[in-house]
Structure 1
Amino acid sequence: MIANFLLLVIISLINESIEEKVHYIFPEFPYKESNKNEVMLREVEAACEKGCYGRNGVSKVLCIRQCVSPSCYRDLYQGDLLEEGEVDVRLNSFKGCFIQRYNRSRP
């Protein structure tokens, strides 16, 4: 009887943990993938990569993103840094933010 009760409690706890989904909310910036946008972003990233020499993994990625656009980095990553192995669901928003702010700064 006690074994059955414990089994039900364990199953209940497992079900609760499975149902709990983490919803991360971050600012979303639309990004239109085009050759022009991708080339521009790659050029800026390549220049920034030189300043992040010696870093690896997530540390290097975040260093490059901060260099590419400090304000977009602040808006999207500073409050919740990317972790090793994490899928970066914020990347397209970062690209959209960068393109948006870059286009605004042009005469």
Structure 2
Amino acid sequence: MSEVAGYTGSTLSRLSNVFGRLEKCGWAQRSADPSDGRYPLAALTEEWQETVRAAAPIQVEEVRRLVLDPLTHGQQRQPDAVAQCILRALNAPCRTDWTLPVGTFLDSRK
């Protein structure tokens, strides 16, 4: 879990809280590390995988609508230039002060 917290730029405490909400949804589970029981192992469940599979077509449609459809035919024929713009945006400093909208399943204010 510490490793995941590092990858996400989060604290272990915050990640643990988020993971607890995922567990309540049936999307994640923790178990003790068999080589050292002091450390928890985290895993996403089959139910989570099914949810992601079901959401994939919707996500693809949204990416098409939000990313590809606004491009002109000329822009669509210039994927290198478009990719460079996207990569510049991805390399921009990452915000760490964001909060989830109230009412989402990860919202801790419930």
Taking structure 1 as the reference length, what is the TM-score of the superposition?
0.27
- Higher relative CO (CA 8 A, sep ≥ 6), structure 1 or 2? 1
More strand by share: 2
More helix by share: 1
